[in-house]
Amino acid sequence: MAQKQTCRLVTSMPGGDNESSVYLTDSGRMVPQREE
């Protein structure tokens, strides 16, 4: 992985689609995605 992505959308987590959608920031922090 030579390319560095700032925000990666991870949807490989069980439990739901939108609820389990989290963003992996560059710092390795998991940010829950909320659609309001």
Per-residue pLDDT of 8-32, as tens digits, reads 555 555 544 444 456 666 666 666 6
CA-based angle 32:33:36, to the nearest 5?
Answer: 130
| Tokens coding 25 | 């920031």
Model-wide pTM > 0.75 = no
Distance between CA 25 and CA 16 in Å, rounded?
21
Which pLDDT score, from 0 to 100, does residue 22 have?
A: 61
pLDDT of 10 reads 58
